[in-house]
A and B are shown apart, each in its own frame.
Chain A
Amino acid sequence: MNTNYNDEYIIKVTNLYKNYGQNEVLKGIDLTVKKGEVISIIGSSGSGKSTFIRCLNLLGEPTAGKIEFEGNIIYESNTHHLKKELEEFKKNNSDYKTQEKYKQLRKELKESRIHDFKQSRQIDKTINVHRQKIGMVFQHFNVFNNLTVIDNITLAPMKTKGISKEEAEKQALELLEKVGLLDKAKEYSLKLSGGQKQRLAIVRALAMNPDCMLFDEPTSALDPEMVKEVLEVIKRLTQTGMTIIIVTHEMGFAKEISDRVIFMDQGIICEEGTPEEIFNNPKNARTKEFLSKVL
């Protein structure tokens, strides 16, 4: 499976589409993430940033496109495009029934549907292996409310990797110490403050030794005084060489940590470039408009 993986990129997204019913949220996104790269995604609310980042570990199922992770195709579907093409073809050719291309398209569509069906049956099993390598941190922390801090961290490593309890706890305590939560280890996560919860959520993801981390607005739900402690943890993480994709509204922070900044609007990537390019010298009119509002 790993044959065409040349270590250059860790995630490769090709022509990704996502619809919610009739609502087209992602309209063809291409993105290649290099190993160790830190990418910030910015954009106005409702532009599809969360939808996109959730497609990367298939928490949200795309409608069409291709997602590769470390050389493995974790999702691929053409059905949506083929359907559109077929409809277009029908519209443009009144005698479409006799044409060879029509038959060809129908055959492809059928095959594609079969592929989708097989994939959907496989995905729920195979994706777990990939997800173990893709850490994710959510806007609303989503710490496990019924578990203590330490159990939050050890649950997944113990269940998925068969690590012993002692080992998992040892690792968890080390990680907790790094983010200053050691004294909270035995507390219920419910009792933590927002900032502490988010730090816990980060540690929980890191305990799986992921190859990359996804952050979806990790500080948006925090009180201002807690933003800093979380950003501090993320910043330190960038220094370890971790591959990171972060959706954020903290422009200063994005500028500081990113290798690449992506501006999304209405389901497409409008502009991407280095922080300097995007923040100091935006080319796209919509980027300019957005930045003028938030900066």
Chain B
Amino acid sequence: MKSFLDKLKATKLYVFITSKSFRTFSFILVIGLTIFLLINNYGNKEINAATEADTFTVEIINVNENAGLATIAYKDGENYIDTGKTKLEVKSGTKIKFYYKDGLNEGYNILFWANYESNVFAPVKDPGDNESYYVSTSFVKTIKSDITLVVVSIKETEKIVYFYNSSVKEHRSMIGVDVVDFGKDATFKFNTPKNRGFDFIGWSEDLTTITSNMEIYPLYKSSVWTVFRDYYPMFFRGLAVTLLLSVISVFCALFLGIILCLMRLSKSYILKFVAAAYVEVIRGVPLLLQLLVIYIILGPSKIHIGSFFTTEVISCLLALFINSGAYSSEIFRSGIQAVDKGQMEAGRALGLSNWQVMIKVVIPQGIKNSLPSIGNELVSIIKETSLAVSVDASIGELMSVRKQITAATYINLPPYIVIAIIYFCVTFSLSKLIGHLEKRLQTHEH
């Protein structure tokens, strides 16, 4: 028995499991999972809330920048009758809960909206029309992959209706046929990936005219997992852009860093001053500000190289380059200063000039000393590219993926969580890798 234990202890797996880094990793994993599950739960709750039997929700989703006061009405003959929702402060994402009340619980055939001041009513429009409030009704209940619609806007009772999932003809497919009655649940299974999200539910009695008065804001089962599952190509594209921006800017910044560092180590006071001033100013000013300033300067020039390197991307790269150059120069400086003074002395004692020793002996060793910190600089630049969203989401780096997903699904939190997890995985494993390489560099030396 004892020998078995000894054997067990000798295995690589045992050593690995009991190692400190593994324990740290598992700890982080458990914390991460807990958060993940909590968030997941949160997502579900939101959906359940929308299934309260006697309510349905209308969401305002397409208000241009300025929020305003609006009235939501329905039409009875020629008259617009307000739904009791007047003087509503609406902006994108505002949800309005309607209750089935006496006399009103027939639902609304078509909802109309009006600016509170003008009182000129217009029907709710397709989401593509930016000019209007897009008011949509939602009636959703989700049971795993099935989605249940509570049908509220059909006046006639007991009718066979066909349901469709998109307002765009080419994308449209039938998602269900049901006999509907007012307030009756119509249940659809959405199993195919195509049907997972939808921007619209239209219904038709005769398969020809699709009525869109049941427009639904795409109620998306907003859990972290589903967001990731459905949008992972977007996330990975975002990640690729982020990594590309980071790697390009850090790589270029290395050269700037070395030049600045050499300037600081030179004997010329002017060069020293220029380099020191550059480094101190850049390090003393927020990157976001640098980014915006460069964008403002470069913006009008509309320079671009190919389709990827737009003005925005170039501004972003330039700002990261300028910023990272300053930090790299400090990294190199401390790396070079950490080189044993004896190396320079030995070189000088042989009759080599200061620069000859610098270039052949000290700087190569200094750069080697700096490699781990340069890796860490890459890690922090990976995170700092997220500031690029504030210049322009069109850059398409990881952080801006959230905007795109929110635009499509009207959910905010889960994509943020997915992005956080991706950032964490990349940076955490990168720093671990760097730590590992650092250790190897050190063991090679001794």
**A33 within 8 Å of B (CB atoms):** no
With A145-B365, A146-B365, A147-B361 as known contacts, state yes or no: A128 contacts B346, CB within 8 Å.
no
**B356 within 8 Å of A (CB atoms):** yes
**A201 within 8 Å of B (CB atoms):** yes
B178: chain A residues within 8 A (beta carbon): none
Q: How many A-B residue pairs have CB under 8 A?
A: 75
B349: chain A residues within 8 A (beta carbon): 57, 59, 131, 134-136, 138, 205
With A155-B360, A159-B356 as known contacts, state yes or no: A144 contacts B347, CB within 8 Å.
yes
B340: chain A residues within 8 A (beta carbon): 140, 142, 145
**B345 within 8 Å of A (CB atoms):** yes
A138 and B349 alpha carbons, distance in the complex (Å): 10
A138 and B351 alpha carbons, distance in the complex (Å): 15
* B342 pairs with A156, CB closer than 8 A: no
Tell me which of B345, B350, B364 contacts A146 (CB under 8 A). B364
**A190 within 8 Å of B (CB atoms):** yes
* B351 pairs with A160, CB closer than 8 A: yes
A134 and B348 alpha carbons, distance in the complex (Å): 11
Q: How far is the CB of A219 from chain B (nearest CB, A)?
A: 16
* A138 pairs with B348, CB closer than 8 A: no
Tell me which of B346, B353, B354 contacts A144 (CB under 8 A). B346
With A146-B361, A146-B368, A159-B360 as known contacts, state yes or no: A129 contacts B345, CB within 8 Å.
no
**B444 within 8 Å of A (CB atoms):** yes
Chain A contacts with B in 121-153, Cβ cutoff 8 A: 124, 128-136, 138, 140-147
Chain B contacts with A in 431-446, Cβ cutoff 8 A: 444-445
* B345 pairs with A204, CB closer than 8 A: no
Q: How large is the interface on A (under 10, 10 to 19, 20 to 34, 35 or more residues)?
A: 20 to 34
Tell me which of A129, A132, A140, A190 contacts B350 (CB under 8 A). A132
* B351 pairs with A144, CB closer than 8 A: no
* B346 pairs with A201, CB closer than 8 A: yes
B368: chain A residues within 8 A (beta carbon): 146
A143 and B346 alpha carbons, distance in the complex (Å): 8
* A208 pairs with B351, CB closer than 8 A: yes
Identify whether the interface residues of B are mostly helix, strand, loop, or mixed.
Answer: helix
B445: chain A residues within 8 A (beta carbon): 145, 190
A185 and B100 alpha carbons, distance in the complex (Å): 92
Annotate B313-350 by CB proximity to A: 1 below 8 A, 0 otherwise.
00000000000000000000000000010110111111
Tell me which of B343, B350, B444 contacts A208 (CB under 8 A). B350
Tell me which of B343, B351, B354, B444 contacts A129 (CB under 8 A). B351
Q: How far is the CB of A102 from chain B (nearest CB, A)?
A: 36
Q: How large is the interface on B (under 10, 10 to 19, 20 to 34, 35 or more residues)?
A: 20 to 34
Most chain A beta carbons < 10 A, residue from B340, B346, B353, B356: B346
A288 and B361 alpha carbons, distance in the complex (Å): 44
* B352 pairs with A138, CB closer than 8 A: no
A125 and B346 alpha carbons, distance in the complex (Å): 17
* B348 pairs with A59, CB closer than 8 A: yes
Annotate B246-287 by CB proximity to A: 1 below 8 A, 0 otherwise.
000000000000000000000000000000000000000000
* B342 pairs with A140, CB closer than 8 A: yes
With A146-B361, A146-B368 as known contacts, state yes or no: A138 contacts B354, CB within 8 Å.
no
Tell me which of A145, A147, A156 contacts B351 (CB under 8 A). A156
Q: How far is the CB of A3 from chain B (nearest CB, A)?
A: 24
Annotate B348-387 by CB proximity to A: 1 below 8 A, 0 otherwise.
1111111010001100110010000000000000000000
Most chain A beta carbons < 10 A, residue from B345, B349, B356: B349
Q: How far is the CB of A194 from chain B (nearest CB, A)?
A: 12
* A131 pairs with B361, CB closer than 8 A: no
A144 and B361 alpha carbons, distance in the complex (Å): 6
A278 and B347 alpha carbons, distance in the complex (Å): 35
* A124 pairs with B354, CB closer than 8 A: yes
* A205 pairs with B350, CB closer than 8 A: yes
* B343 pairs with A190, CB closer than 8 A: no
B354: chain A residues within 8 A (beta carbon): 124
Who on chain B is nearest to A161 by CB? B351
A205: chain B residues within 8 A (beta carbon): 349-350
29 A-B pairs within 8 Å (CB atoms) are namely: A59-B348, A124-B354, A128-B351, A128-B353, A129-B351, A131-B350, A132-B350, A132-B351, A133-B351, A138-B346, A140-B340, A141-B342, A142-B343, A143-B346, A144-B347, A144-B360, A145-B445, A146-B361, A146-B364, A147-B360, A155-B360, A156-B347, A156-B350, A159-B356, A160-B350, A160-B352, A190-B444, A190-B445, A208-B350
The 5 closest A-B pairs by CB, nearest first: A132-B351, A142-B346, A142-B342, A156-B350, A131-B351
- Other 18 A-B pairs with CB < 8 A, given A133-B351, A145-B445: A135-B349, A135-B350, A136-B346, A136-B349, A136-B350, A140-B342, A141-B342, A143-B346, A144-B346, A145-B343, A145-B365, A155-B361, A156-B351, A159-B356, A159-B360, A160-B350, A201-B346, A208-B351
